[in-house]
Chain A
């Protein structure tokens, strides 16, 4: 008969957390921030078909980093929860808070129940009538839920990115300035803290547009994205650095 070795619960949880953290830290970054025009999502994403940003409901968006199959699973569950709630009650009864709490419980249950935790970090954001009323929730792999103050960053270099956002974030920034700030934060995301330039091809951008009634989620792509970019290039700090290729090695499962 095989002998079972004793492992303490602390050890098990620590191992799981370390495993999840290590894999999430290889992912590319996402920035979400509240501005005058709505809630802006900017993600670094080399694929134009596999999205990291998406619509959950009329006033609610979703952003994620990590393992694609797992975040897609959570996103689908989110759309189902939102639509079921809106269908059985009313469209206005679907809130970012209730979705975020359901995600938190699910992530927490998966973390403690299953051998392998989900290697994801997600954001559920709701746009309010004014920037101060926007709700930004960040959820980590173990089910922790954080109510963020107007801006957040997820991914490998999230801590560095948050420093940049913290310094310059203002609720009343117009869209172009908010985008410039998000881009400046993301360009800090090179390994060893190097700055790099991000082109249109590696950016996924979306906005929960405050002024738009009903379904407010809108992707900013093609010419609309082009129109936002030149204003950024004109800034002195977008100096040309060599594009950082060093974090491309681990892109097989992360997106």
Chain B
């Protein structure tokens, strides 16, 4: 925060007009706080930091459901058993991250402020598509470090308050490291266990499923991912750790109570004890 002009006056970046974006403001007021603005020496840094793994998002009859496992890994070592990777981006949208955990969580924190900042300055929320595009733009700023092994890939889902009907209101967007943005029809998954999670969802998902059923198949998809991917954590009854599950509906974004998720996870474990292949 360098002051220009007369002493005491706020720096010009604070008083300039024309932008409602917090990250654009940061790029002139405090660029060191932007994750993409830290040049690294040449090399690959994939092994120096924790990696967050599997997230699933599903469209339900009432909106969307998003769930994430609780594991972060560094190579073959489990760096966290209780990390949280699914967050409410704002009142009507959810965001989850896979990839470099530290950068991903920083990106989400910045993104949450970005949406709130816009809302306060403009007096209105961005549209759901506007929010998704904004996330893509922020990802593009990270391309350099992504190519050096510190990639972050988010998954974004939300309830579109401008939709014609509730059935059409749930929307899911996936991204790639270069900032490409893709609208998903029914469900999607990211992270190392995503192939297995998606295969599980393919067999279980039906269009028009209610939120409760979507929560069940989301927890089951993460169970299947953990079954075959060593970087994805399964439900952990010994430590009382279960996936983070959130929904975004007309009532807003909300985290499903942990005891409720524990109940669902226990029933999945019981069913698999009966029949290991689901």
What chain A residues lie within 8 Å of B109 (beta carbons)?
A: 87
A242 within 8 A of B: no
> Which partner residue on chain A sits nearest B117 by CB separation?
A83
Tell me, rounded to whole Å, the shortest Cβ–Cβ distance linking B245 to chain A: 21
A108 lies within 8 A of B121 (CB): no
Select B26's contact among A51, A56, A84, A110, beta carbons within 8 Å.
A84
B22 lies within 8 A of A77 (CB): no
What chain B residues lie within 8 Å of A81 (beta carbons)?
A: 10, 14
A106 lies within 8 A of B8 (CB): yes
A73 lies within 8 A of B15 (CB): yes
Tell me, rounded to whole Å, the shortest Cβ–Cβ distance linking B6 to chain A: 4
* Contact residues of B between 77 and 111, Cβ < 8 Å to A: 109-110
What secondary structure prevails in chain B residues at the interface with A? helix
> Per-position contact with A for B16-35: 1 when CB-CB < 8 Å, else 0?
01000010011001100100
| Interface residue total, chain A, C-beta cutoff 8 A | 24
Q: How far is the CA of A102 from the CA of B13 in the complex (A)?
A: 14
A84 lies within 8 A of B9 (CB): no
B113 lies within 8 A of A77 (CB): no
> Which partner residue on chain B sits nearest A215 by CB separation?
B116
Q: How far is the CA of A79 from the CA of B113 in the complex (A)?
A: 11
A87 lies within 8 A of B113 (CB): yes
> Which partner residue on chain A sits nearest B9 by CB separation?
A109
A79 lies within 8 A of B120 (CB): yes
Interface residues on B, range: 20 to 34
Q: How far is the CA of A36 from the CA of B33 in the complex (A)?
A: 39
A88 lies within 8 A of B33 (CB): yes
Q: How far is the CA of A82 from the CA of B126 in the complex (A)?
A: 20
Taking A109-B9, A113-B6 as contacts, is the C-beta distance between A73 and B120 under 8 angstroms?
A: no
B30 lies within 8 A of A88 (CB): yes
Q: How far is the CA of A147 from the CA of B116 in the complex (A)?
A: 28
A105 within 8 A of B: yes
4 A-B pairs closest in CB distance: A109-B9, A109-B8, A105-B8, A77-B14
What are 21 A-B contacts with C-beta separation under 8 Å? A54-B120, A55-B120, A73-B15, A76-B17, A77-B10, A77-B15, A79-B120, A80-B22, A80-B117, A81-B14, A83-B116, A83-B117, A84-B25, A84-B29, A87-B26, A88-B33, A108-B8, A109-B5, A109-B7, A109-B9, A113-B9
